[in-house]
Structure 1
Amino acid sequence: MSRIFLEDVKIYAYHGVLPEENLVGTYYIVNAELHTDLWKASESDDLNDTVSYAEINSIIHDEMGIPSKLMEHVAGRIINRIHEKFSQIDYIKIKITKTSPPMQGEMRGASIELDKMFKP
């Protein structure tokens, strides 16, 4: 199985249930894992034979820029947009971490992870 990873993409965004989260915002860390066949690109050295991680990064930034109450909703939108653009992807996993959630205690963040398989 071939995989593409985007790791620790840091984005300032405005998501959350509390009104102040949508006004103040915070940093989020996004990780993406994509499964697709990369062997043709390994032989051809042609961008048309692979999935552009620059375009994946752009999709992540676009969707993170749309305020939502739930990180689950954002992750679902990211997964759907990626698959719409690159239907050859068999599996997508997105992890989003809110680095400063408005909760008691000290922590590195609160995260959700959503994944979807597209082909058996």
Structure 2
Amino acid sequence: MIKVALEGAEFFAYHGFYPEEQVIGTQFLVDVQVGFDADIYVDEDNLHNTVNYEVLYAIIEDEMSNTRKVLETVAQSILNRIKTEFTFIETAVVTICKQRPPFRGPIKQSVITLSYTK
């Protein structure tokens, strides 16, 4: 199994259930990890045999720019697009961390994780 990941991709976005969250916005961190069969990766120096980081980042960036009320919806959209772009992946994990969510007390982040196994 080969694993390819982007960790700690930072985005300022306007996701949130409350209207003020969609106006003020906040910082998010996104981690994405995908896995695929090593047999698919033939010993060639070719991006078509692996998951291209640049494409992976573009998918995440695009979905983070679409404001939604629930982070699970954002994660599912990221996952759906990754599965469409890289049909050979067998596993994927998308984690979104909302920095300093709006609670009465100090909280570093809220986190959702969505996993996929073919």
Instruction: Give the TM-score, by structure 2 length.
Output: 0.94
The Cα shift of 1:30 comes to 0.2
Q: Give percent identity, aligned residues only.
A: 35
> Hey, which of these two has a bigger chunk of helix by percent?
1
- Relative to structure 2, which stretch is displaced further, 44-53 or 20-29? 44-53
Partner of 2:115 in structure 1? 115
Kept after mapping to 2: 8 A contact 1:75/1:96: yes
The Cα shift of 1:37 comes to 2.9
Size of the alignment, in residue pairs? Answer: 118
SS in structure 1 of the partner of residue 114 of structure 2: strand
Partner of 1:52 in structure 2? 52
Kept after mapping to 2: 8 A contact 1:38/1:49: no
**What letter corresponds to residue 50 of structure 1 in structure 2?**
T
What are the Cα deviations for residues 73-112 of structure 1, in whole angstroms up to 9, with x where unaligned? 0000000000011100101100000002111211210000
Measure, in 2, the Cα distance between the counterparts of 1:106 and 1:92.
31
Partner of 2:95 in structure 1? 95
Where structure 1 has 5 or more consecutive residues not aligned to the other structure, the ranges are none
Is 1:11 equivalent to 2:23 in the alignment?
A: no
Measure, in 2, the Cα distance between the counterparts of 1:40 and 1:82.
17
Measure, in 1, the Cα distance between the counterparts of 2:34 and 2:115.
10
Moved over 6 A (4+): none
Partner of 1:67 in structure 2? 67
Measure, in 2, the Cα distance between the counterparts of 1:59 and 1:38.
23
Kept after mapping to 2: 8 A contact 1:2/1:35: yes
Measure, in 2, the Cα distance between the counterparts of 1:48 and 1:32.
19
